[in-house]
Structure 1
Amino acid sequence: MTATIASPPRSIRIATRKSQLALVQTHWVRDRLKEAFPDRSFEVQEMSTQGDKILDVALSKIGDKGLFTKELEVGMLEGRADFAVHSLKDLPTQLPEGLILGCVTERENPADALVVRKEHKDKTLETLPKGAIIGTSSLRRLAQLRHSFSHFVFEDIRGNLNTRLAKLDAEEKQYDAIILAVAGLERLGMGDRIHQVIPAEISLHAVGQGALGIECREGDEEILHLLQAISHQPTTYRALAERSFLRELEGGCQVPIGVNTAIAGETLTLTGMVAALDGKRLIKDTVRGKTTDAEQLGLDLAGLLRGKGAKEILDEIFAEIQR
């Protein structure tokens, strides 16, 4: 009787954007899964998203419903990919039917970073000259920095991280400084470009910033089992609170909503803010509770800020963006 030879497990297909940072993050996920499951094979599938293709229009003008995720999600729903690796801050809080947030990885430093031209190497945000041109594509960063530093000039800047750094360093000055994520710079081995880590008192970070969100098909138990090997529970609690807060305020990643979270023991502290684009109105508050009540804490904080006028500010911003 001939023995049956078992077929090797199928290769797992990982969808990712083509940017250098996206690939570094995806390869990190692939390598961790290879370590955890040495008998499995994993292949990376690169895809271009709308946000990668449209580089001459401010993100807030394009709209952010799946700006950096839709093409990857279509790939999963059509069975061409098994899961997708995202910067969690790019992943909308409302996912398409049939897809879920499969896991959240351990968070890197979620803070924003000031990166300066070489002639400003002895300066910080507090000492840059009046009229300094600061580049940022984030309305969240723009509103908060305008609130504290109304004497700066703020200009939009698009492109991947390398492109933005090249624009900053260009011989003909376009910007005196730009604002980037600490985590992105560090993941690309460019931590030496971080001139100043901006404190939370000045700039609360984006929802999910510094963490990776792995999106997969709902009910795909094989993939969900694999992803548990890279899931990080404390970061997951923080992400659930932050995303619940953002979802309740009906905000996307292109509105001036910032957060900060911390866990001590079983207590989660969530701070959130909403600011007007001109920086003149900024609403902020903090809630605390059990880590297991993370999503409810997000709802509670959204309610507090809504009671202080957050909805009116956001309505004005949406109207302005759509004009």
Structure 2
Amino acid sequence: MSTSGYPSKYPESSTPTLRTLRIGTRSSDLALAQVTLFTDLLSISHPTLSTTTHPSSTSLGDTNKVTNLHTLASTGKSLWTEDLEKELLDGSVDVIIHSLKDVPTKLPAGCVCAAVGARDEARDAVVMSQARKAEGWRTLGDLKEGGIVGTSSVRRAAMVRRMYPHLVIKNVRGNIGTRLRKLDDPSEGFDALVLAGAGVQRLSMGERISCWLGSEEGILHAVGQGAVGVEWREGDGWVGSILAEAGKTLRKAGRRVRWECAGERSLLRVLEGGCSVPVGVECVWEEGSLLQGDGTGKDAVVEPSDRQTSGYEQDDALPEGPDTEREKYGGMLIMRAMVVSLDGKECVEGTRRHYVSSDAEAEECGWRMAGELVDRGAGEILKEITLNRAMIRGQDGA
């Protein structure tokens, strides 16, 4: 079974009952806000379904808020999901809700994961300190030589170093509220933060965002960023049927979010990376907005030759059975991807067009893009990062 899509067949005993859906999540304000997004979606597809939320704050990333994430990742443990997955597998909860960007691409045996619902803004955002904002500064380019930018992300740090070598990167940990308080505290010395814009918006702090960072600025977002991920037990037909119905609520937009994220996670899986390596990605659909058109597929213009060159094979795309909606929701996906060295001095990037109308085709787009990056030298950059991480671990005693 694919680790990126909903199962299409369920045992007869999986007919939904009056059971309560138990939702596991981290205890941060952002995590709880994402649970609300999920339950709001369920209220449309399953208005009588009862849910309970079970927050946890025992993840490695939550309990250690000092060590930088790059070093923590060298322990081999999942930064945000491991303890929650134990609760899922022992039956304490039925699903886990994550920021999809935080979910490792290699899941424990017995777990499956997919994007669910709409995808919010996927790009990174710049938040200026109140002092710099008062001076009229908006972009990283406005900062003077030696300006201090805070981030806990290895990817953001590497990409900012690449595009803005005159700036200094300083590690900053904590939830979004904590990081913003540090930003505005003059004693901390920060001029700006770079962080996921979706998280800022979900906490109703969007007014703090001064500008966005995307491919035009030479900075690509994290795999799965802006999407809510749901993880559940493989073979749990009751949960699978609920998620399948919920996924249909947004029709074309929901399908395409799932496919984008499946492709992005496939890319990262092949590169053997995680949320602690500088791999960036951006996906767009050739015909325009996710919400363009009426869901009938009339806005998707794909020639037969495009399907052949992209490896499109209808009979093989979904071996678990036909999907009557995939043709009308399919389209040409353009994936841009980038691997950057930690110091920002080396970069391998590429772009791929691939016809996508199923999970399998989305994953193929990702692994083919990864192969192209490796052929261009991305593997050497990632190998050096692994060696660097081992040295840092030894120095820190982590």
Q: Is TM (by shorter chain) over 0.5?
A: yes
2:374 equivalent in structure 1: 306
1:3 equivalent in structure 2: none
How far residue 195 of structure 1 moved from its aligned partner, in angstroms, is: 0.6
Q: Percent same amino acid among aligned pairs?
A: 41
How far residue 12 of structure 1 moved from its aligned partner, in angstroms, is: 1.0
2:273 pairs with 1:251: yes
TM-score normalised per structure 1: 0.95
2:306 equivalent in structure 1: none
2:346 pairs with 1:281: yes
Q: 1:115-126 alignment to 2 at 5 Å?
A: 115-121=127-133, 122-123=136-137, 124-126=139-141
2:48 pairs with 1:39: yes
1:227 equivalent in structure 2: 243
Q: Secondary structure at the match of 2:106?
A: coil
1:21 corresponds to which letter in structure 2? Answer: L
Q: Which of 373, 383, 387 pairs up with 1:319?
A: 387
How far residue 103 of structure 1 moved from its aligned partner, in angstroms, is: 4.5
Q: Which of 47, 51, 54 pairs up with 2:64?
A: 54
- Displaced runs of 4+ in structure 1, greater than 4 A? none
Q: Secondary structure at the match of 1:151?
A: coil
1:172 corresponds to which letter in structure 2? Answer: S
2:394 equivalent in structure 1: none
Q: 1:131-280 alignment to 2 at 5 Å?
A: 131-201=146-216, 202-231=218-247, 232-264=254-286, 265=300, 266-280=331-345
TM-score normalised per structure 2: 0.77
2:87 equivalent in structure 1: 75
2:308 equivalent in structure 1: none
1:311 corresponds to which letter in structure 2? Answer: G
How far residue 14 of structure 1 moved from its aligned partner, in angstroms, is: 0.3
Which runs of 5 or more structure 2 residues have no equivalent in the other structure? 1-16, 248-253, 287-299, 301-330, 392-398
Q: Secondary structure at the match of 2:194?
A: strand
Deviates more, 1:89-98 or 1:171-180: 171-180
How far residue 228 of structure 1 moved from its aligned partner, in angstroms, is: 2.3
Q: Secondary structure at the match of 1:172?
A: helix
Q: Secondary structure at the match of 2:44?
A: helix
How far residue 173 of structure 1 moved from its aligned partner, in angstroms, is: 4.0
2:143 corresponds to which letter in structure 1? Answer: L
Hey, what's the Cα distance between the residues in 2 that align with 1:30 and 1:195? 30
Which runs of 5 or more structure 1 residues have no equivalent in the other structure? 1-7
How far residue 254 of structure 1 moved from its aligned partner, in angstroms, is: 0.3
1:228 corresponds to which letter in structure 2? Answer: A
RMSD: 1.3
Hey, what's the Cα distance between the residues in 1 that align with 2:348 and 2:42? 41
Residue-by-residue CA offset, 1:85-108 (whole Å, 9 max, x unaligned): 010000111111111015532110
Residue-by-residue CA offset, 1:147-184 (whole Å, 9 max, x unaligned): 11111011111000000000001142421101111100
1:203 corresponds to which letter in structure 2? Answer: I
Hey, what's the Cα distance between the residues in 1 that align with 2:196 and 2:72? 21
Hey, what's the Cα distance between the residues in 2 that align with 1:283 and 1:116? 29
8 A contact 1:102–1:224 mirrored in 2: no
1:11 equivalent in structure 2: 20
Q: Which of 4, 24, 27 pairs up with 2:36?
A: 27
1:295 equivalent in structure 2: 363
How far residue 26 of structure 1 moved from its aligned partner, in angstroms, is: 0.7
8 A contact 1:16–1:84 mirrored in 2: yes
How far residue 82 of structure 1 moved from its aligned partner, in angstroms, is: 0.2
1:89 equivalent in structure 2: 101
How far residue 300 of structure 1 moved from its aligned partner, in angstroms, is: 1.2
Q: Secondary structure at the match of 2:187?
A: coil
